[in-house]
Amino acid sequence: MSDITRAEICVTACADLFAGAGETLASPMGLIPSLGAKLARLTAEPDLLLSDGEAFLLTPESTVEGWLPYRKVFDVVAHGRRHVVMGANQVDRFGNQNISAIGDHAKPTRQLLGFRGAPGNTINHRTSYWVPRHSPRVLVNAVDVISGVGYDHAVGPYHDVYRVITNLAVLDFDTPDHSMRLVSTHPGVSVDEVQKQTSFELTADDVTETRLPTDQELKLIRNVLDPDAKRDKEVPS
């Protein structure tokens, strides 16, 4: 299949986050990560558990297979069988994330959502981030407020910030000091461009190209999961 879009590459990059997850609750925030989780469930990870974002666990056919109101989500968070993909108003070199406020927390220049579940998520189980507009304003040297905990503030036995997927690249923290590393750039994006859109220096030693979706994945994305192509609004080509 041809004319593969950037959004579709982001969807499969998000699906790959769940490789090996098995019977784990996938909690994607935002459209592209949600499509990615559903795609993983339909392909490599049939055991994955998906919620409707409200109180139900749903099969790909939208049959209710479980009940998970917010209070039980907190139980799963503490129990640990969960991989959350959160958004980030800011994410920094060591994977700290901010969804709380820009500026001084006592009197912010911009109030955002609040800490939400970010502190508990990041200290309890695997966490990844989705950044639909990779820019120096989002990929900052140090976040204004630490909502999600990064490697330089990590404590306890369960901290695991896995990857950052952006509209330009896939990044992780697999370096000796757990600073951010460029894993792959999406087709058509250069390492220089990613670096230019990032406020701090990335480790970029063995950068590859993000893989293309398979024909089967493209069919699922285009015909089953997102026939109205809402993905192109989140990541324009």
Partner 1 sequence: MRDKRMTADEAVSTIKDGMTVGIGGWGSRRKPMALVEAILKTDLEDLTIVTYGGPDVGLLCAAGKIRKLVYGFVSLDTIPYDPWFKRARETGAIEVLELDEGMFQTGLRAAGHRLPFLPVRAGLGSDVLKYAPELKTVRSPYDDGEELVAMPALKLDVALVHLNRADKHGNAQYLGPDPYFDDLFCLAADRRYVSCERIVDSFEGPPQTLLLNRMMVDGVVEAPGGAGFTSCVPDYPRDEAKQREYAEAAAEGRLPA
Tell me which residues touch partner 1 (CB under 8 A). 54-56, 67, 69-71, 74, 77-78, 100-101, 105-120, 122-124, 145-149, 153-159
Structure tokens at 226: 């997102």
Q: Which one, 62 or 70, has the nearer CB to partner 1?
A: 70
Q: Strand, coil or helix: what is 111? A: strand
Shortest gap between Cβ of 115 and partner 1 (angstroms)?
5
Q: Which one, 71 or 223, has the nearer CB to partner 1?
A: 71
Shortest gap between Cβ of 176 and partner 1 (angstroms)?
20
Shortest gap between Cβ of 85 and partner 1 (angstroms)?
17
Shortest gap between Cβ of 56 and partner 1 (angstroms)?
6
Among candidates 163, 27, 196, which has minimal Cα distance to 91?
A: 163
**CA terminus-to-terminus distance, the chain:** 17
Shortest gap between Cβ of 31 and partner 1 (angstroms)?
14
- Identify residue 137 by its one-letter amino acid code: R
Q: Which one, 60 or 119, has the nearer CB to partner 1?
A: 119
Query: Per DSSP, what are the bridge partners of residue 203?
Result: 181
Q: Which one, 121 or 197, has the nearer CB to partner 1?
A: 121
Q: Which one, 102 or 207, has the nearer CB to partner 1?
A: 102
Give the Å distances, CA to CA, from 155 to 89, 122, 149, 163, 171: 23, 10, 9, 18, 22
The phi, psi pair for 52, rounded to 5°, reads -85, 5
